[in-house]
Structure 1
Amino acid sequence: MSAAGAAVLYVGFALLALAFGVETVPAFLGFAVALLGGGLLLTGLFGWLRQAFLRHQDRSVADPEARRTYVTTMILFLATDLGTFGAGFIYYVFVRVGTWPPADLPPLLGSLVAINTALLLVSSVTFHFAHDFLERGRDRAFLGLLGLTVLLGVVFLAGQALEYYEFVVHEGFSITDGVFASAFYGLTGLHGLHVALGVVLLSIVLVRGARGQYAPERDTSVATVGLYWHFVDAVWLFLVATLYVGAVVSV
């Protein structure tokens, strides 16, 4: 269900992009399809969360074999997700075959992208130490750092929204402005979607942690969400190096 929802969500985003460039495509159709896909995606994820973790929350100690299974499954998911990002990067490579850099590029490198990058890097550090405190039985420190991680993720999303606003409104640089724009907004938008999902997962972990559902020997969902969050951070660094820094390099 989540996979189908993600596919429908992507179609909705594509329709929205067409709506801004082709007048014959109504914008409300893109919004409707995107909302349907988002609903299916979240429903599937909640069902997975309930089946995988919440129905077993009465156990005092997690099953080590189940923990290995869930962690391995998350690693396999991230491997397939890497293929999704890889397709976007391959498109970007083909874009760069022509004359470079494009003449209509906005000022991509600035303080905003530097701040956003620092926020995500710090969020990985705070999550790492939050998990470390949980394993040492220091619940208050675990919750405090986990809450800070969620806050950093939210601020990052706000910064990305501000960047889009600056590019579209003040620079006149939108997703329909050439092949580089489609690659830029496609890849950064896909990453932003992953960050938003990560914030949702981190928030669920935070609520469960506040209810006392974790312990040093019971941290499976903390470990799996941690893998996802660190993956998202690593992809962002590659995005910055490729799209932001690489966009102004002519060789």
Structure 2
Amino acid sequence: MSTKHETYYVPAQSAWPIVGAIGLFLIAFGAGHFVQQIKTGASGAGYILLTGIAVILFMLVGWFRTVIKESMTGLYSSQMDRSFRQGMSWFIFSEVMFFAAFFGALFYARMISVPWLGGASNNAMTHEVLWPNFEAVWPLLTTPGGTTTEAMGWNGLPLINTIILLTSSITLHFAHISLEKGKRTAITLWLGLTILLGLCFLALQAEEYSHAYHEMGLTLTSGVYGNTFFLLTGFHGMHVTLGTIFLLVLFFRVLKGHFSADKHFAFQAGSWYWHFVDVVWLCLFVFVYVL
């Protein structure tokens, strides 16, 4: 009986994880201070945030280039492929937990904090002391300081963006099927259409934010409703941006003749990530916009 031994490729030490960590730190630091800047009128935090984004983009380009080179030179075995699948699965699971925390904050505010402030669960005295004129309704459109805002409706741009993302999942699925059948022209067309839909989503979300800030008075300082709205939709928009970058890399790799019907996990990983982003948006649409 013969056994086949596969060589498991162990990459050399890389600086890209450290570069990515620095970029994420700058984004977190810059974003946090940028929010404070809105309240205090200070300046400079926006530049830190932009620097962090630039560092992340630089890291993505360098790391993608390294991995693509390793893959195309035949360094990866089937065992390495299984490791990639497990790694991507755990990464998506971590993203699920990331959004679960924000959805948890939304549900806590809606189902516990707001009723509690309204005098539920024998908290009538607390209600009178903390916020005598408070009405336990959601969305909460008035802050303790008296700032009022409007709720973002589900129709209009949010509904259009939902249709766009659902359509993009369908076009990406067709691209994946075309790849498995070896139809490279169809892959390019379907994948290009998916990227275009992703860019349309981001453009419409930017328009939605502009409308919210300038015409509705819905900002990050608009109490718990404004906070949860922008945190959930903003982080989702960031994930759509990263997903679009991922798909762009796959698009150019397809143009260069990369991937085959039986060896295309990078394409599959991008597909997993994009479908995950779409599922998160459906949850957002229901719990943030509709309910």
- TM-score after normalising by structure 2: 0.78
**Alpha-carbon distance in structure 1 between the residues aligned to 2:286 and 2:21:** 29
Within the candidate set 58, 61, 70, 1:46 is matched to 61
- Equivalences for residues 1-251 of structure 1 within 5 A: 1=18, 2-23=20-41, 25-26=42-43, 29-59=44-74, 63-96=77-110, 97-98=113-114, 99-101=136-138, 102-103=140-141, 104-246=149-291
Distance apart, 1:199 and its partner CA: 0.6
Query: Of the two, which has the highest radius of gyration?
Result: 2
Seen in structure 2, the aligned counterparts of structure 1 residues 131 and 62 have a Cα distance that, compared at 3 Å, is farther
Seen in structure 2, the aligned counterparts of structure 1 residues 216 and 173 have a Cα distance that, compared at 3 Å, is same
Distance apart, 1:62 and its partner CA: 6.3
Distance apart, 1:49 and its partner CA: 1.8
Distance apart, 1:45 and its partner CA: 2.5
Q: Is the 8 A contact 2:150 2:216 kept in 1?
A: no
Mean Cα deviation higher: 69-78 or 87-96 = 87-96
**Alpha-carbon distance in structure 2 between the residues aligned to 1:6 and 1:83:** 18
**Alpha-carbon distance in structure 2 between the residues aligned to 1:223 and 1:62:** 16
Q: CA RMSD in A?
A: 1.7
Distance apart, 1:93 and its partner CA: 2.0
Q: Is the 8 A contact 2:22 2:52 kept in 1?
A: yes
**Alpha-carbon distance in structure 1 between the residues aligned to 2:76 and 2:182:** 16
Matched residue pairs, number?
Answer: 242
- Relative contact order (alpha carbons < 8 A, sep ≥ 6): 1 or 2 greater? 1
Mean Cα deviation higher: 34-43 or 218-227 = 34-43
Structure 2: give runs of 5+ residues left out of the alignment: 1-17, 115-135, 142-148
